[in-house]
Chains A and B, each alone.
Chain A
Amino acid sequence: MSRTTVHFILVMYLFVVWGAVIFRIDRFPITWVPMYSNYYPSETISAKVWDKEKIANGLLVTHQDGSTSYVSSKDLNIPQPNFRRLYYERMFGSGPPKHHQGNRNLSPLNRWIRGLKENEPNFQADWDWRMCWSVNQTLEYQPTDPKFIIGAEADYQVRVYRKQDIMNQDVSKVRIKTIHAKIQWKDEWLPRWEHGLL
């Protein structure tokens, strides 16, 4: 490789990696943002509490024939950390950090490049559809099967601390809430069934 070629490679390389930063491209192996960059200032801090037993049992699902059962990480054959994200985030309509970061404070130039209309988010996903499709396909249930999953439920406890109390080192003043999520199959999703997410 000649020195001129190396000059060209270097210029192109720097153009690509800096281009990713300027145009906010977060597609492996290039990125503009680490995972923990997002933060929304608030007077309170909400902290989820993981429930080992609930995670081991999995999602409470309702089948088409009216019966209920649990679907766990073992049933889906996925790692537990990923299953926790399904249980505590996707079930509640919350996307990954990449989505939150990609949607926030996007400059007019970056909105224009992506062809986004006013208030249109850069990333959006119908997590209810995705959950229903993914779980049923993985367990090999077709929409005509009696065992086809038509609903799934999850819940968790959240502890809400006031920053003022934390500063005064009084963490006994905590508000405890239980948040519940229920997703349901919609027949309007049937045309999408075969091609899934593609």
Chain B
Amino acid sequence: MAFSKSITRIWNQFFFTGFSGESLGLLRMYIGIGLLFFHTYQFATVLSLNPVGAMYYYIEPIWYFRVLGIQYHIPALSFVIYAILMWATVTMILGKWTKTSILAVILCIFYLKGVRDSFSGDVHHRYIIPMQILFLFLLSKCGEVHSRDATHLRSQGEVQEWEASWPIKTMQLYVASFYFWSVIAKVQLAGWVWFSGEGQIQENLIQRSVRWGVTDEGDVVKNSISFALAQHPDIIQVISLLVLAFELGFPLILLVKSVKLRALFLAWVTLFHISTFVLLDVNFLLIPFVYLIFFDLVPIHQWLKTRFSQLIRGRPSLAN
């Protein structure tokens, strides 16, 4: 009985405290702004196609395309869906028809990601976290604060702490779990050898640098840093252990109260994503924008607002 009570207390303490309605509304806005860049970066290759060109028949349709019987690509449609996606993301940021906008964003991502990944069958995981965040926004009251919709909802009263906290805390839990699961997956598939100095990281460094070509002297044409680093398994071993430490330790961020410590840890993770992009061409470069979920954005927004107004006030007028 006492055990059950303490579980309930921990559960309630974790999921239902910590954030205000204002924090939730601001998070919707800032994540939305991040998504504008993220969408464009992710779907740039699809937008490079000829809108009136050949209709490609997918070699491995993603699972929901199979269910829906979608076998080929209509290029012009992808451009239309992308325009809807960007428009819906803007209305989500503004908080205009918030739930409908979020739903439209989710559906457009499903379509465009399905297109991109069905061409050759490689299912990328870059949208997994943003999708979870959008799903939780959809279920939340994020459109009732800092939004156009809020002007129509004044009579309903403010968003309670528990109502604002559970979606954000669930997002945090998912992100922390996502990194933790990647250790489970690596160990399950390859064993601890994945993390050795002569393991997966070394192999990828060689493969990702050599693939761009090699000169007659045996030097790689691109990514020479990766190629050089691959020849130092002792350094790779240290890097691997750092990767293991942050992936295993990621859930601990849920217990850290200090904002500075959290920011420091997330800066380390961001550095990891920048390094994998530079050294290995792994395209998780923009994903750190989701780490905003680990902060209360109210003071940050206030600070940005003050700085912005100071900047506007400080600017000499055109008449002068």
The reply to whether the CB of B231 lies closer than 8 angstroms to some CB of chain A is yes
Q: How far does the alpha carbon of A10 sit from the alpha carbon of B166 in the complex, in Å?
A: 9
B170 touches A86 (CB 8 A): no
Contacts A10-B15, A37-B182, A134-B59 known; A45 to B122 CB distance under 8 Å?
no
A45 touches B203 (CB 8 A): yes
Majority secondary structure of chain B interface residues (helix, strand, loop or mixed): helix
Contacts A77-B75, A167-B198 known; A134 to B57 CB distance under 8 Å?
yes
> Interface size of A by Cβ–Cβ distance < 8 Å?
77
Contacts of B162 in A (CB 8 A): 3, 6
Contacts of B139 in A (CB 8 A): 1, 9
Q: How far does the alpha carbon of A172 sit from the alpha carbon of B61 in the complex, in Å?
A: 42
Q: How far does the alpha carbon of A81 sit from the alpha carbon of B211 in the complex, in Å?
A: 13
The reply to whether the CB of A116 lies closer than 8 angstroms to some CB of chain B is no
Q: How far does the alpha carbon of A161 sit from the alpha carbon of B194 in the complex, in Å?
A: 19
Query: Which size class do B's interface residues fall under?
Result: 35 or more
A17 touches B61 (CB 8 A): no
B49 touches A79 (CB 8 A): yes
Contacts A27-B63, A90-B120 known; A167 to B231 CB distance under 8 Å?
yes
A29 touches B59 (CB 8 A): no
B218 touches A172 (CB 8 A): yes
B199 touches A41 (CB 8 A): yes
Contacts of A133 in B (CB 8 A): 57
The reply to whether the CB of A184 lies closer than 8 angstroms to some CB of chain B is no
Contacts of A50 in B (CB 8 A): 211-213
A167 touches B233 (CB 8 A): yes
B182 touches A34 (CB 8 A): yes
Contacts of A137 in B (CB 8 A): 57, 72
Q: How far does the alpha carbon of A175 sit from the alpha carbon of B184 in the complex, in Å?
A: 35
B120 touches A85 (CB 8 A): yes
B189 touches A86 (CB 8 A): no
Closest to A168 in B: B231
Q: How far does the alpha carbon of A99 sit from the alpha carbon of B60 in the complex, in Å?
A: 11
A134 touches B48 (CB 8 A): no
Contacts of B63 in A (CB 8 A): 27-28
How far, in Å, is A177 (CB) from chain B's closest CB? 13
- The number of residue pairs between A and B whose CB atoms lie closer than 8 Å in the complex comes to 205
A79 touches B45 (CB 8 A): yes
Q: Could you say which of B123, B135, B173, B203 contacts A39, with CB atoms under 8 Å apart?
A: B203
Digit string of A80-96 for contact with B (CB within 8 Å is 1, else 0)? 11110110011000011
Contacts of B16 in A (CB 8 A): 3
A85 touches B122 (CB 8 A): yes
Q: Could you say which of B48, B181, B190 contacts A21, with CB atoms under 8 Å apart?
A: B181
B57 touches A138 (CB 8 A): yes
Q: Could you say which of A32, A39, A97 contacts B200, with CB atoms under 8 Å apart?
A: A39
The reply to whether the CB of B188 lies closer than 8 angstroms to some CB of chain A is yes
How far, in Å, is A99 (CB) from chain B's closest CB? 8
B190 touches A98 (CB 8 A): no
A163 touches B210 (CB 8 A): no
How far, in Å, is B251 (CB) from chain A's closest CB? 13
Contacts A37-B189, A134-B56 known; A45 to B207 CB distance under 8 Å?
yes
The reply to whether the CB of B71 lies closer than 8 angstroms to some CB of chain A is yes
The reply to whether the CB of B204 lies closer than 8 angstroms to some CB of chain A is yes
Contacts of B200 in A (CB 8 A): 36, 38-39
Chain B residues in contact with chain A, CB under 8 A? 15-16, 45-46, 48-50, 53-64, 66, 69, 71-73, 75, 110, 113, 116-117, 119-125, 127-128, 131-132, 135, 139, 162-163, 166, 170, 173-174, 177, 181-182, 184-186, 188-190, 193-194, 198-200, 202-204, 206-207, 209-214, 218, 227, 230-231, 233, 282
Chain A residues in contact with chain B, CB under 8 A? 1, 3, 6, 9-10, 13-14, 17-18, 21, 26-41, 45-52, 74-83, 85-86, 89-90, 95-99, 101, 104-105, 125, 127, 130-131, 133-134, 137-139, 159, 161, 163, 166-167, 169, 171-172, 174, 196-198
